[in-house]
Chains A and B, each alone.
Chain A
Amino acid sequence: MTEVAQPFAELGLKDDEYQRILEILGRRPTDTELAMYGVMWSEHCSYKSSKVHLRQFADNAPSSEAMLVGIGENAGVVDVGDGLAVTFKVESHNHPSYVEPYQGAATGVGGIVRDILTMGARPIAVMDSLRFGEAEAPDTKRLVQGIVAGVGGYGNCLGLPNIGGEVGFDPTYAGNPLVNALCVGVLPHDRLQLAQAKGTGNVVILLGAKTGRDGIGGASVLASATFDDESPTKRPAVQVGDPFAEKVLIECCLELFDAGLVTGIQDLGAAGLSCAFAETAAHGDGGMHVELEKVPLREASMVPVEILTSESQERMLAIVEPANVAAVLALCEKWGALATVVGTVTDTGRLVITWHGETVVDVVPGSLADDGPVYHRPIQRPDLEQDALAADSSASLPRPSTGEALRETVLRMAASPELCSRRWVTEQYDRYVMGGTVLAMPHDGGVVRIGDDTSRGIALALDGNGRFAKLDPHDGAQLNLAEAYRNVACAGATPLAVTDCLNFGSPEDPAVMWQFAEATRGLAEACRALGTPVTGGNVSFYNQTGATAINPTPVIGVLAVLDDVAKRVPSGFGREGEHVIALGETADELDGSAWAWVMHGHLGGRPPAVRLDAERSLAALLRRAAADGLVASAHDLSEGGLAQAVVEAALINGVGATIEVIGDPFTSLFSESAARAIVTTDDAEALLALAGEHGVPATRLGVTGGDAVVVSDLFDLGLDELRAAFEGTLPALFG
């Protein structure tokens, strides 16, 4: 080799990957080309380690006439009737949020919102799933305050209601918080947009913010390698969000779509312009010529590599017919959004990028966008560790038996960071803006009406229990899907589709790849069994500090529809005198439970049995009961079991209940068996009959009323005492 070696390793490329680039090009890449391959072939952009596993979602997908656009596009699109469609997706912004909590979380919301906008949809709501280290740990407060403020700051300023999510604490997330943001949008079928540069001679227009040195190499650097603080030089400049610019971009793009002025549109996210040029060209006519010097810059001194890999926020790329360019520029002018012609669509089959006349990039766009490496990473179940974990069941833990001990346990669990009220978080989020929110925090699922002139609505829930997945990634993933599915069913909605954000450790660790393979296999199976296809999602690897990975955390979002939002079912007891009825079967299943963790710091054994048929029947029953106006409230039984569900349902409206427990009080109160819910109704007979028809076991527990949760013959808990315990924890911890 006479020529000087190229710095491919610094760009995150492996030897064999560099060799492939040489083959593809038949020559040495230019520095600019090399950098583009570096970001485009990064784990984050190319899914090189996960591709082979994610295929199952499409291959084994249940047939669904509702699905209009499946996996592969920026987000899946689902038909909800009346000529309307819904698109939704959850995405991670974990690593940036650790470096700069506020901006990392804020730009995470901004990024997923642009994904939804790109489909031609008006974003109508967001949700967020957050994981932190132990609540009392030294660094947790900084991360919680910054991340929650960031999610709120961006979403509130964008005018999108936040309708739900989760907050979790576990030591494994200490050096590696999870920030998963979900956005959902609505579009008329005929407004669907695709990320394609079609039509030779069409014009490529860059919309929105100027390009700066933000997050250069961010995707490949931060999210595609184990992050160690020893190399601050590797840290890209933090991306700062400008929600106002994004709000303007949304209104501007929607007017462009409605006026039929664009033939293709792509958001700029990870890998910035590199990704947008390569993908739109590859999925269009195949050719594009970009004059890079036309890109408006924040810093004049930027060079092509920086411009192409910058991850500056609030930018979109539009493909426009020459005849429409003037109209597009005028519309952007009206909104005060920057719009600049930067290139044209060609039929050369090549992406050619010039810089003041000099060609700096000349490649087949597909080689960047689609021909990235695909790995079959080694998979190895860590038998010793996993078997030991399974053997270490919770059965040996001391269980409370007396009424007094049970009372203490309920109170302590309700006050634990694990199960306490999320109000401190959710009060920082606007849930009213847009005027369509029908249910939001603290109800099981968020429900929004999808338009002013329709009664139709959608329900969404987001769940991701990392402890069940740690005990068994396959079953754990299925249980997470089941919980989200149950949460929307409790609202009275019909589950339609799934989005997932798979948060795992390093794919180079065979044990982590085993978790990933198991989780994806389990999720694909369960989606098939429940008839809800995965329409899109996101993978986040390298969530680990040093050698220790986070608990495998598949966060699952389920989208459901309601024909009439007025029929939605809240989670809280409504009035005095409603009959409380338990649905589903309770077994002695406490391994991996909130009780084991909160009361004993114990994690071990086998997660609760997965009961997908029972989940289906339960959902069908809840839907029917809601449609018939038979239930006043419904709350799913999950973390903390029956005790926690009753506490939450009672506190929402300050209506207590007197219940009696059947069988062993401890198991009835704290087991986390799946496929269960409590409902309240004025007509117990009718509900029990309906449950019978659906083959769902149903038991009378008692009646609502009073200012206490009373468990007959065992204990009373006054609502004031409960509320103080439930509400006091997060404010005390995080100010």
Chain B
Amino acid sequence: MPGAAGSLGPVSASITVGVVTFPGSLDDRDAARAVRAAGVQVIRLWHGDADLHGVDAVVLPGGFSYGDYLRGGAIARFSSVVGEIVAAAGAGLPVLGICNGFQVLCEAHLLPGALVRNAGLRFVCRDQVLAVENPSTSWTNQYAAGEQILIPIKHGEGRYVADAVVLDELEQSGRVVFRYVGDNPNGALNNIAGIANEAGNVVGLMPHPEHAIDELTGPSSDGLTMFASLLKALVAA
């Protein structure tokens, strides 16, 4: 909803979102572009930063941080900037982890569970229908409950797994934020595409909303709503 975002222009002028770059981050420029498209200023954060430069929210972008040869996010998790983010997230800072960012959030234990090799053992790039299961997080408040959106996925390690207790807890507390509709592209348990922490300020998902901000370069503009939601949450706060 670029319109809605735009109409909040004056207020949003003072709001900034940090987009993190690790060596090996790939969709960081794209995430920054998407945040700006929602009418919000961007501050680029470097993996070595021990300070979040006062940003009002953080996006951990897609890519292969440090190569991710071991496990997605396993090394990025130890960077200075992630240390800062973990602390700030505990105090309510909105954080969105996209793809590799989601992996980092799980490795850093800001979100439960893990993302493992796709069941099909191959990298998958396709346009995926998702259902928005929880429209009340900082990153989804502009979606309707159950709304179906079309967002690209592109990953080789996106299969969400967690033990039965955690899964149950996620489902009971409505913390499954996005679910794959139709073919499950990676074998994720319960078709989980994205989840939130208890407070709902930290959200991680495998699909790439930053690649669905206009029909010219993406399959839809459905992803823009995620960044418009953030703006709404920040302005309301």
Contact = CB atoms under 8 A, between A and B. Distances in A.
Nearest to A441: B125
A429 B125 contact: yes
Interface string B106-123: 000000000000000011
B71 interface: no
Interface in B1-55: 23-24, 26-27, 29-30, 33
A128 to B, nearest CB: 14
A152 B69 contact: no
Interface stretch (A84-92, A166-174, A239-247): A239-247
A242 B124 contact: no
Given A244-B69, A434-B29, A438-B217, A335 B23 contact: yes
A433 B64 CA distance: 12
A248 B24 contact: yes
Contacts of A245: 67
Among A430, A432, A433, chain B packs the most CB atoms within 10 A around the CB of A432
Contact of A565 (B69, B216, B218): B216
B69 A432 contact: no
Contacts of A436: 217
B63 interface: yes
A645 interface: no
A244 B217 CA distance: 26
Interface residues of A, number: 33
Interface stretch (A153-161, A366-374, A615-623, A711-719): A153-161
B123 A432 contact: no
Contact of B27 (A152, A157, A159, A431): A159
Contacts of A438: 216-217
A159 B27 CA distance: 8
Contacts of A350: none
A437 interface: yes
B26 A159 contact: yes
B30 A427 contact: no
Interface residues of B, number: 28
B24 A435 contact: no
B179 interface: no
B67 A435 contact: no
A229 interface: no
Interface in B72-119: none
A299 interface: no
Given A247-B23, A438-B216, A428 B64 contact: no
Nearest to B36: A452
B26 A244 contact: no
Contact of B122 (A149, A247, A248, A335): A149
A427 B124 contact: yes
Interface string A220-258: 000000000000000000000011110110010000000
Nearest to A437: B217
Contact of B123 (A153, A248, A433): A153
Contact of B154 (A158, A247, A335, A433): A433
B64 A244 contact: yes
A449 interface: yes
A432 B156 CA distance: 15
Given A156-B123, A432-B217, A432-B218, 20 more contacts: A149-B122, A156-B154, A156-B156, A158-B26, A244-B24, A244-B64, A245-B67, A247-B24, A247-B26, A248-B23, A427-B125, A427-B126, A429-B123, A430-B123, A430-B125, A430-B154, A432-B152, A432-B211, A433-B30, A434-B30
5 contacts: A156-B154, A244-B69, A248-B24, A335-B23, A432-B125
Q: Please list the 9 inter-chain residue pairs (A to B) with the smallest Cβ-Cβ separation, ordered nearest first.
A: A244-B67, A159-B26, A435-B30, A432-B211, A430-B154, A157-B64, A428-B123, A432-B152, A244-B24
